[in-house]
Structure 1
Amino acid sequence: MVRKIIVDCDPGHDDAIALMLAHGNPDIELVAVTTVGGNAVLDKVTKNALGIMTTAGITGVPIAAGCVRPLIREGEDADVHGESGLDGVELPQPTMQLDPRHGVDLIIDTVMAAEPKTISLVPTGPLTNIAMAIRKEPRIIERVKEVVLMGGGVHVGNWSAVAEFNIMIDPEAAHIVFDAPWDVTMIGLDATHQALATDEVADRITALNTPLADFVLGLFGFFRRAYHDAQGFQYPPVHDPVAVARIIDPTIVGTVRAPIRVELRGDHTLGMTVTELRPAHIPENCRTQAAMSLDADRFWDLVIDAIERLGRANADR
């Protein structure tokens, strides 16, 4: 059965790969894309999303711009994506127009128009749009199949010692999303730091010999240098497509079911996703789970297959 998803994103190099995987995998139907201020300001990430979709040949999918800033706090940019939010590649002029609706309304309308439990939400940026959608139309909670989000971490942080960027810059939105009575899978840094764009991965993409493969290699080249300089990684972790891969094949990502709470007040722990792993404190009806492991080989097989499919489809146009 084809799984329908909405990707809510802030492109971002790894968001670009997530969009390609979502549209290039035959088991996924990408039904909408929304953007949110995160890796860069909203205008930049929206421009990036349009350029990525044009480059990858993603057509017939509505895309709308969402929230400009976090619910309460001032926004912050992620430094590893460069000034544009997608440095290292040239984007073409978009071949599609933005949907006139606000991104929050596109999420609500798409979920409410579909059969219940047929659409999954895949947020790969701050959770502002998803939280606003819940507040504006709470009925989506019972209609969404699941939320598989990239963000957080059980044992790892990157924007602070204990907090991940997407959660930390809008922790109030994250609290709303984690606290809602729906199924949430947190694809955090414990798993995504295993999704490394190694030389072997780059060689496999080079062998595809398509313009889209070259575009991906441009993304990797900048991201590799930026991650090495900012965080000391030899190879950059490509976080966001891991959330899409979890939808395609849940066995690729190993998870533990556990209550997850977002810290809102700590001086040193703001945005921490506090994960309760003590067995006696995990209720039977727990609806949140955290990713802990990744089958990296199978993950990259999915990503490279999607890039190949999209590259071939573009060549046939």
Structure 2
Amino acid sequence: MSTPTASFAGRTVARVGYGAAQLGRLGDHRAEAVALVRRAVELGVNHVDTAEFYGFGFANAVIREAVRPEDDVVVVTKVGADPNPGGRLPLRMAQRPEQLRASVEDNLRSLGVDRLPVVNLRRLDSGPGLRPEGDQVVDLDDQLAAMITLRDEGKIGAIGLGSVTLDGLRRALPAGIVCVQNAYSLVSRDDEDLLRLCAAEGIAWVPFFPLGGAFPGLPKVAEEPVVHTVAESLGVTPAQVGLAWLLHHAPNVLLIPGTADPGHLEANMAAGEIAFDEATLAVLDAVESRSSEVSLG
């Protein structure tokens, strides 16, 4: 199966990758989880997104077992939050510079590598989710200084940002940002200006919640009647339409849809081959965008 490619952190990657957030659902079925990641690689995935707090380390352990050096996969991880077993939420904020360093070390150990190709600094400035308070309110410049030091030490290869504002990205540009991960989908396009800045600067746009609706109160792509109409006309699923629209919308979009199901994995990869004519694209572009600002605090 062939998928479109793009440049990312000095590498050429398939524009449809794999996000490991849902691997934790297979926590009692490790062999199935390993087989799923292996299948992703077989289908052409060479960009995998993970975090130490996905499944409390389970996702990283599976990727370590499943991904081989000869696969030439760009494994991207993130810092800014740590696992929180037993807590009200499965993660806790870890924004302070010393916590960022500790999180990088944790990811190096759990992935079994000496260097992390890309590490995203997950800020808490925009989109759905937690907002920092107390000692977790940390200046972006202080965080970037820590990330640059880690890059200079060779522990990370490149720096990305997540849940960042337009002004935040502008401040961070001198650090050499290679990607931005913000919540973004056909039905939640708050960050259009941010996406345009990324395109102009050659920065990959890697949307999380690419189909919306991960939290209660967020709009869902699959609930849009026009998406169903387009899907039926093309003989594909509404989810595939939502993913394909993102690829058509901007050339710097890289997708990391997550799943624990092999069938959904293959469907996600196939979305990279869906073509829209101009009329269909115009109909999808006209879908109303609703805010993705939902707090978990």
Normalised to the residue count of structure 2, the TM-score between the two structures is: 0.37
